[in-house]
């Protein structure tokens, strides 16, 4: 899939996949949402609104209230690529989100995931 196509994928279509991934590993819906709130600044109602509107990932990040100031602390590899070296700003945001979800699924503590 070309990255331009990834930008058009709806957040509503990947949210259930994230949820399945983390709950299979014993994490909760609440923990998933907390990670997403931390990254984007959305809250329960605004995140649900994005899901209901079926916005693209591009719109999801464009409309995010406020990216967390500690996103630069998100480091590591997702899909064979170091997230801190991704040049396209939107692709980097998507990969930050993927990285945080991976960490949640792998059992990292919330303090580590939320870079506290």
Average pLDDT, the chain: 95
Task: Name the pTM for this structure.
Answer: 0.94
C-alpha–C-alpha distance, residues 110 and 100, integer Å: 10
Q: Which domain holds residue 73?
A: 3-113
pLDDT tens-digit series, residues 37-48? 999 999 999 999
Q: Show pLDDT as tens, one digit a residue, over the chain (116 residues).
A: 455 688 999 999 999 999 999 999 999 999 999 999 999 999 999 999 999 999 999 999 999 999 999 999 999 999 899 999 999 999 999 999 999 999 999 999 999 999 98
DSSP per-residue codes, 54-72 = T-BHHHHHHT-S---TTGG
CATH number, domain of 62, equals 1.10.8.290
Tell me which residue of 65, 67, 56 sits closest to 93, measured CA to CA.
67
| Tokens standing for residue 68 | 């967390």
Total number of domains constituting the chain: 1
């Amino acid at each position: 899939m070309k990255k331009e196509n990834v930008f058009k994928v709806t957040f509503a279509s990947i949210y259930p996949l994230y949820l399945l991934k983390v709950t299979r590993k014993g994490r909760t819906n609440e923990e998933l949402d907390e990670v997403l709130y931390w990254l984007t600044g959305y809250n329960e109602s605004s995140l649900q609104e994005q899901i209901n509107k079926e916005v693209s990932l591009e719109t999801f990040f464009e409309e995010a209230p406020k990216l967390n100031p500690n996103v630069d602390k998100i480091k590591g590899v997702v899909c064979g690529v170091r997230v801190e070296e991704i040049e396209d700003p939107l692709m980097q945001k998507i990969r930050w989100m993927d990285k945080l979800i991976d960490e949640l699924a792998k059992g990292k503590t919330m303090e580590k995931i939320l870079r506290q």
